[in-house]
Amino acid sequence: MAQEANQTADAEDRTAALARDGAARIEWVRTHSPVLDGYVREAVNDGSLRGKRVAVVVHLEAKTAFLATVLADAGAEVIAAGSNPRTTDASVVAALRERGMTVVADAGGDYDSWELELKAAADCEPDYIIDDGAELTMRTAEHRPDVFAKLKGVSEETTTGTARLQAMSAAGNLPFPALTANDARCKHLFDNRYATGQTTLQALLRLTNRQIAGARIAVVGYGYVGKGLALYAKAMGARTFVAEVDPVRALEAHTDGHTVGSRAEIFPQAEAIITATGGMRAIGEADIQYLAHDVVLGNAGHHDLEVDTEALAAAASNVFESRPGITSYTVGDRDLHVLAGGALVNIAGGSGHPVEVMDLTFAVQGLGVHHLASTELEPGVHILPKALDDSIAIAKLASYGITLDELRADQRDDHTARMEEGGAA
């Protein structure tokens, strides 16, 4: 009995220590999130969210946790879950539970446990979802159609999730309004480009202990994420390559100074390849033949399957851990190295996006769910109103001590002014 009591006490001590660590991490985020902790906190505290159940399903680390606390402080009943089984932080989970919040995720899980966590979140019957990749939204439709039919709104974080919601809407299967937070300028212009560009390369360098100056870095996909990756790699002295199937984006990458071509042309030259498509199997079975010996493969897109690790394992004669966070596959006479198991490398292999950028992204999400709760919107996919998007930027600029001029009357185009006022041309 004494031994069991000691073991219980030890477990409680470890949990308490984890909770203190998580609380410190969340507090660090708070002190560097002037928009979320100021302007957004004030805006959402008008009673619109009081008593509403809001499921927050984004990578469950300190920045997400702070968003959850802001919503909880506004009176929402928050359910926290993770959008990927490999990116949940144990200390953050402990801190939120210590606070009394419903958390249906645990660190160290796999895809089976993650599916159960998402179903548990759906079973909590949320009124609103702040989603990442529409993962909970889709599971709710499948697992709890009764809850799905009663959902009052979803605010979606990613390009992938936005595409999924638009497909559901086009098929007539979206009975509630959904905001594509990803399409807000204060999200994709900063989060997708600058944050992912910086933190993905930071994680790659930390995991590999390799040099980037002079290295040949290939990016698959040239949306906002791909642009940020190529921008940062080039600025750090890398020779940059882009593989893109969209001809306009490919032309843009060429004009930006990157070498553009097909996978067959680019992959054999690359020392590191980073996927940024938001789709499936950006590096798939058909591409393995083009990969050079000692190449590093990392994923900066939504799906863990952007790098097809199952195809690599099937082709390999040996699979081994060459360094912490790096799985190596021996295929013929080549060793191919995958970072963080193919999960989002900047989170699973790093610290995630910078706090300052997530202050913007989660300001969009916080105001987004508040907009859903306080505004009558038709079912379908909507974009955050420009006025709200602008207000976030204004608050961020103010936190830097920056004020802007307003357009004077004599600077306006008379024809445009008359059209805006509804007058004759």
Q: Which residue ranges are tagged as binding site for NAD(+)?
A: 158-160, 223-228, 244, 300-302, 346, 353
> Element (H or E) spanning 129, and its range?
strand 128-131
Q: Find, among 19, 53, 241, the residue nearest to 147 by Cα.
A: 53
CA distance 387 to 321: 50
CA distance 406 to 401: 16
User: Token pair for residue 194?
Assistant: 């600058």
Question: Quick one: CA dihedral 230, 231, 232, 236, positive or negative?
Answer: positive
Question: Quick one: CA dihedral 359, 361, 362, 363, positive or negative?
Answer: positive
User: Token pair for residue 252?
Assistant: 């843009």
Give the residue ranges of DSSP H helices in 239-344.
Answer: 247-255, 263-266, 309-315
Q: Find, among 347, 353, 344, 358, the residue nearest to 274 by Cα.
A: 344
Amino acid code (one letter) for 83: S
Name the binding residues: 158-160, 223-228, 244, 300-302, 346, 353
Which residues have a Cβ under 8 Å from the Cβ of 26 and sit 6 or more positions away? 62, 65, 66, 69, 92, 95
Q: Which parts of 206-360 are beta strand (E)?
A: 216-220, 239-243, 259-260, 272-275, 296-299, 318-323, 326-331, 334-339
Q: What's the CA dihedral at 368, 137, 352, 232 to 10 degrees?
A: -80
Say if residues 272 and 215 touch (Cβ distance below 8 Å). Answer: yes
Number of residues that this document lists for the chain: 425
Say if residues 389 and 360 touch (Cβ distance below 8 Å). Answer: no
For residue 307, the 8-state DSSP code is B
CA distance 10 to 2: 12
